[in-house]
Structures are given as structure tokens and as C-alpha cells.
Amino acid sequence: MKKFMFVISLMIPVLLLCAQERTINVIMIGAHPDDCDLEFGGTAILFAQMGHHVKFVSMTNGDAGHQNMGGGHLAKRRMAEAKEAGKRFGVEYVVMDNHDGELMPTLENRLKIIREIRKWNADIVITHRPNDYHPDHRYTGILVQDAAYTVIVPNVAPDVPPLQKNPVFLYTEDRFQIPTPFRPDIAVIIDPVFDQKIYAMSAHESQFFEWLPWTSGDLDQVPADEKSRLEFLAGRRTSTPDEKTIDCLRKWYGDKADQAKHAEAFEICEYGRQPDDQEIKVLFPMLGK
């Protein structure tokens, strides 16, 4: 018995270390190839740098996102851009073959999402809020909400084993007020990786240097050389924290919050597991650092 107790006592530090250093699996499910990058890219880099696993999923192939290109040709170009962005972020990037602008909250799409979340053995699932301006974003939010809880039900999509534990489901930040404004529960300072985020996002050339400037009527402002393009993109895609986000940052970082130039914020969805502050610190090991 004494020997047994001795062996157990030797194992305790190892078990504690394993508990603290376990790999965290994060999956973000966005509507288009570039949404995960924009909303979660900085935090994703921080997770990847710490050795955790991050996957970006785009529910559509982006084949409507251009002013003079479309269909399969554009879908292939956007798939290649997403793969390149994934490499630069240090994450896996999956693009589903649904048409851009036509995503529907069908049972088929819900089951695809359930399988993706299970195969990734996700601890954290991130998506859009379902009151976003874009129908593809809204329906992606609905589909992911419909997967919250059902990912643990063995008789739903029985070909992939259910998760043992319901993940924490989070929404990314947006500006929409009705029926409720976004509420930052978790906010991450991304200043140390902001330049890398911009570099990784710049892989989506068809979007940030062609389509989006065209939609805002200033395509003629896009510079030609790479260095100037990165500055152009950084100037347009700042993620300056607002008052509410600064308050949230103070909770997690203390005084350091007031120096933050760029942050990404997340709201906890009611349908997944409800983490307390202690668990949030384990799931987001970059908080406070």
C-alpha cells in the first residue's frame, strides 16, 4: 500500500502538468473564406504559437465575391487563397463547396457542421451571431447554434462518435444592435501578432485588394507593391477596442488593457457549456499575458 501511495504521489505533478498543458482544440466556422481570418485571426495565431490546434471552416466557397469573376474559376482561386492564408496563420483551413450568397440552414449543413466539430474534438467553437447583416453569416450562426448540444448526442450523425463534453460556443464581434448588441465576455490583445494577422489576411488578394475596394468605390486607392498593400490593409482593418471591449480587457489583463491597440472580442453563446472565469483562463491561455 505504501509503495502504491508513493507511486501515486510521484504521478501527481505529471498529471497536473498534463492538465495544464493539454492541447486546446479550437474551430471557427465562418460563412466565407476570409471571415475567420478577420474576426479571429489574431487570437488564432496566438493559440497556434502556443502549440494549440486551430481550424478555420468556411461554409461557402466564396464564388460570388468578385466584380468580374465568378463560378468555379473564382471558387478555385479563393480555395487557393484560403490554403495560403491557413499556412500563414498556422491553422488548418477547410472551404465547403456551398455557393456564396445561397447558404441555407438545412439539416444536411447542420450534420456537416456536427461532424466537423466532433472530428476536431473541439473545446471551443466560434461563429457569427445570427443577427448579422449577411444571410450567409446569419445562417452559419444558426447552423452552429443548432449543432451546440447535438454534438454530444450519439444518435445524431452516428457515423462520427459524439463529443464527451459540450464545447464552449462563442460569437465574434459585430456592430448590430437588434435584438441585442454584442456583449464582449472574453477579449484578447492581439498587438504582438497584428502584423502577422495582416500578412496572413493579405493572402485573400481577390477580396482585400479587388472585390472589397470595388464595393466601397475606391479600387483606385489600392497600391501595387506588396509593402504598400500591407500598410493599406493594416489601415483598413484595425481592430481598435471600444469602451466595452476595454472594460472586458481590464478584467483579463488589468492595467495592460489601457495600452491595447488591437483586440478581438467574443461573446459566450447560451447553448454551449457555460465556463466560469477559471475555465476561460485555461481555454484562453494567452489571457493576461
Site for Zn ion in 217-246 (CB under 5 A): none
Identify which range of 4-12, 28-36, 46-54, 273-281 contacts Zn ion by CB under 5 A.
28-36
> Please, which residue, 100 or 116, has the CB nearer to Zn ion?
100
Minimum gap (Å) between residue 194 Cβ and Zn ion = 21
> Please, which residue, 52 or 78, has the CB nearer to Zn ion?
78
> Please, which residue, 32 or 138, has the CB nearer to Zn ion?
32
Gap between the Cα atoms of 40 and 126, Å rounded: 9
Minimum gap (Å) between residue 21 Cβ and Zn ion = 34
Contacting residue, 32, 55, 197, 204, with Zn ion by CB under 5 A:
32
- What single DSSP character describes residue 219? G
The reply to whether 31 sits near Zn ion by the rule CB under 5 A is yes
State phi, psi for 124 to the nearest 5 degrees. -130, 135
Cβ–Cβ under 8 Å, residues 248 and 187: yes
**Residue 192 in grid coordinates:** 504582438
The reply to whether 35 sits near Zn ion by the rule CB under 5 A is yes
- Give how many residues touch Zn ion by CB under 5 A: 3
The H or E element that residue 109 is part of is helix 107-119
> Please, which residue, 113 or 260, has the CB nearer to Zn ion?
113
Pairs from 237-246 (Cβ < 8 Å, separation ≥ 24): 237/38, 237/198, 237/201, 237/208, 238/262, 239/42, 239/190, 239/194, 239/263, 239/264, 241/187, 241/265, 244/183, 244/184, 245/173, 245/184, 245/187
Minimum gap (Å) between residue 246 Cβ and Zn ion = 26
Residue showing the smallest CB distance to Zn ion in the complex: 32
- The C-alpha angle with vertex 61 and arms to 57 and 64, in degrees rounded to 5, equals 135
Minimum gap (Å) between residue 281 Cβ and Zn ion = 30
Gap between the Cα atoms of 160 and 15, Å rounded: 29
Chain-centre distance for alpha carbon 155: 28
Minimum gap (Å) between residue 60 Cβ and Zn ion = 8
> Please, which residue, 25 or 207, has the CB nearer to Zn ion?
207
> Please, which residue, 116 or 123, has the CB nearer to Zn ion?
116
Binding footprint of Zn ion on the chain (CB under 5 A)? 31-32, 35
